[in-house]
Amino acid sequence: MGKKSREIIGDRVDELIMLLNRAYADEWIAYFYYTHAARMAQGLNAPSVADALEKAAKDELEHINELAERIVQLGGEPIRDFTKLVPESNCPYVKLPGSWSDLKAILKAVIDAERCAIDVYSNILKWLKDIGKDPVTWHVIRHIMSEEIEHEDMFETILGEDY
Ligand SMILES: [Fe+2]
Ligand SMILES: [Fe+2]
The domain that contains 84 carries what CATH number? 1.20.1260.10
pLDDT of residue 51: 98
Rounded CA-CA distance 117/144 in Å is: 9
Q: Which ligand is nearest to the CA of 67?
A: 1
Q: Which ligand is nearest to the CA of 111?
A: 2
- Asked if 118 and 137 touch (Cβ cutoff 8 Å), the reply is no
Rounded CA-CA distance 131/133 in Å is: 6
Report the predicted TM-score, pTM, of the whole model to 2 decimal places.
Answer: 0.96
pLDDT of residue 65: 98
Ligand 2 mean position to 56 CA, how many Å? 6
Q: How many domains does the chain have?
A: 1
Task: Count other Cβ atoms within 10 Å, centred on residue 16.
Answer: 22
Rounded CA-CA distance 105/126 in Å is: 32
Q: Which amino acid is at 51?
A: D
Ligand 1 mean position to 113 CA, how many Å? 10
Rounded CA-CA distance 25/138 in Å is: 19
Q: Which residues contact 99 (CB under 8 A, 6 or more apart)?
A: 105
pLDDT of residue 142: 98
Each residue's pLDDT expressed in tens, for the chain with a length of 163 residues:
688 889 989 999 999 999 999 999 999 999 999 999 999 999 999 999 999 999 999 999 999 999 999 999 999 999 999 999 999 999 999 999 999 999 999 999 999 999 999 999 999 999 999 999 999 999 999 999 999 999 999 999 999 999 9
**By residue range, what is the domain housing residue 95?**
3-159
pLDDT of residue 76: 97
pLDDT of residue 5: 86
Alpha-carbon Rg for the chain in angstroms: 17
